[in-house]
Structure 1
Amino acid sequence: MTYATVMVSLALNQPNNARLQVAGELAERYEAALVGVAAAKFAPPIYFTDGAAAQRLIDQEEAAVKRCLADLEAEFHAATATRTRGGRAEWRSATDFPARFVLAQARCADIVVSGGQSPAFSDAFSLVSPKDLVMQAGRPLLVVPDRITWLDLRDVLVAWKDTPEARRAVADALPMLRKARDVTIVEIPEDDDDRSAVVARVGDVAAWLARHGVTATARVSGAGGAETAAQRLEKVADDVAAGLIVAGAYGHSRFRELILGGVTQYLVTQTARCALLSH
């Protein structure tokens, strides 16, 4: 397995340098095509006039949206000009709701790269939230904090949980895990878990990875006391100097699954390292 097409989601009025840098690195590492994608839509005001004045306002705002998308296209091509082989860089944009457009375009990609830390109340007219992407894209999402300057694959931490989402995440991450210097698999046990069963689970994952050419160390987190699972995971990540965390993504809302679980929420919003998430 490899990544043949990397898609990077750009946002209006947000820093895009980090995600462009990492997406370009991925395209170089795997000789992949690179697709940049963005969308935005004019948000009508709450109080609206009519007639010629209204039409002028609509025309002005729609023209402004198109200019912003053109600026993003220029930023994408400038950042990726030396990153793709044979000019395999493509831009896709539309005056549309960002979530609807970007989620549809994800069908062309093996992996989607996005920023993290979306605002608590994000503007559906100008921004696709990483929460939407991770729960609905049907592709692994690589969340890149704004402070990241490169994709550090020297030490990778796999946050294991015996669920379909975690199994999918490890399979999706195989191309990166094969590039890593050290891979650690950790499970954060619940208070009532049988520790011997937890040890057996992470041992199975390490053995599976070994059959795929990845040498990994299995580890079980100790008792956390009053600490949350996210806090315990952060300690392990710091301990192994992880540049990337691989994990399954979980939601609590049956209606749209947009309310993320505690660890997933942490991985989308933390600023120290990249995170590869699969749902």
Structure 2
Amino acid sequence: MTYSTMMVTLSCDHTNACQLGIAAELAERFEARVIGIAASDISPPLYFTSGDQAERLLEHGLAAIRQRLGEVEAEFRQAMGGHARELQWRSAIDQPAKYIVQQARAADIVISRAAGPLTDPFALADPADLVMQIGRPLLVVPDDNCRVDLSSVLVAWKDNPEARRAIVNALPLLRQASHVTVVEIVEHDGSRADALAGVHDVVDWLSRHHIHATGEVPAPAGDVARQLDTVATQVRAGIVVAGAYGHSRFREWILGGVTQHLIEQTARCALLAR
């Protein structure tokens, strides 16, 4: 298993440097084809304006989007030149998340910029929306993290379907890592003995794929996001691999959750799958 085709999502309104830098590095590692993708749309208020002035404003807005998409394509081609086996560009005047979800069928992995809580859905795809719908692993890249750090990768294990899919999807990256740590944080109603048994099985499973890993189950229970941050800092993880939204997204949004934390934190990349 490898990543033969990567897709990198680009924004018309924000910096693209970090996801382009990481896409270029990974394309070289895996000798992959890279698809650059961008979309943007007119914000709703213009659709509800009438008359000649509204029509002129709409045409002006669409022309500006077309021009910006052309500039982003040029940025993509310049950044990726000489790094990928093949380049392809896809763009549209459309809502970014909707368009990327549709086009992700062409890729093995999607690389996306992290987004804040007030993301404009007409200008930038929210990673939380993407990971729920794309059916592909999503590598979320913070704005200040422009290099691939595979010296240490942390697998945030939880014995559910999302985590199982995430670790399978991450196998190509894990094979490239210098060190892999599998950690499970026991929740307040969980059993540490069960967690230790599960982590042992995952470490053994990885060994069958020629990946040396160590396992860890911290003694304290609860506060999963904080404890994951602590372990990630201790092992100097450059990437955290995790299953996304084991609970409903609404519940995580209201109460806080590990997936939302991994999307919003800025210390390291996160590979998420659902």
Alpha carbons of structure 1 residues 254 and 160: separation in structure 2 relative to 1, 3 Å = closer
1:45-71 CA-to-partner distances (Å, cap 9, x unmatched) read 369553322221111111011111111
Displacement after TM superposition at 1:97 (Å): 1.3
Alpha carbons of structure 1 residues 258 and 74: separation in structure 2 relative to 1, 3 Å = farther
The two structures have a TM-score, normalised by structure 2, of 0.94
**Superposed counterparts of 1:163-174, under 5 Å:** 163-174=160-171
Q: Is 1:129 aligned to 2:126, yes or no?
A: yes
**One-letter amino acid of the counterpart of residue 258, structure 2:** V
Kindly indicate which of the two structures has a greater share of residues assigned to helix: 2
Q: Is 1:243 aligned to 2:238, yes or no?
A: yes
Could you tell which deviates more after superposition, 196-205 or 250-259?
250-259
Identity %: 53
Distance 1:136 1:47 in 2: 27
Name the SS of the counterpart of 1:8 in structure 2: strand
Displacement after TM superposition at 1:44 (Å): 4.1
Displacement after TM superposition at 1:142 (Å): 0.3
The two structures have a TM-score, normalised by structure 1, of 0.93
1:218-237 CA-to-partner distances (Å, cap 9, x unmatched) read 1102215xx62100100000
> What residue in structure 2 maps to residue 96 of structure 1?
94
1:188-238 CA-to-partner distances (Å, cap 9, x unmatched) read 0022322222111000000000000001001102215xx621001000000
Alpha carbons of structure 1 residues 256 and 73: separation in structure 2 relative to 1, 3 Å = farther
Alpha carbons of structure 1 residues 46 and 63: separation in structure 2 relative to 1, 3 Å = closer
**Alignment RMSD:** 2.0
Task: Report how many aligned residue pairs link the two structures.
Answer: 274
**One-letter amino acid of the counterpart of residue 93, structure 2:** T
Contact kept in structure 2, 1:132 and 1:258, CA below 8 Å: no
Alpha carbons of structure 1 residues 163 and 141: separation in structure 2 relative to 1, 3 Å = same
> What residue in structure 2 maps to residue 197 of structure 1?
194
Could you tell which deviates more after superposition, 90-99 or 43-52?
43-52
Contact kept in structure 2, 1:250 and 1:260, CA below 8 Å: no
Name the SS of the counterpart of 1:112 in structure 2: strand
Name the SS of the counterpart of 2:15 in structure 1: coil
- The answer for unaligned runs of 5 or more in structure 1 is none
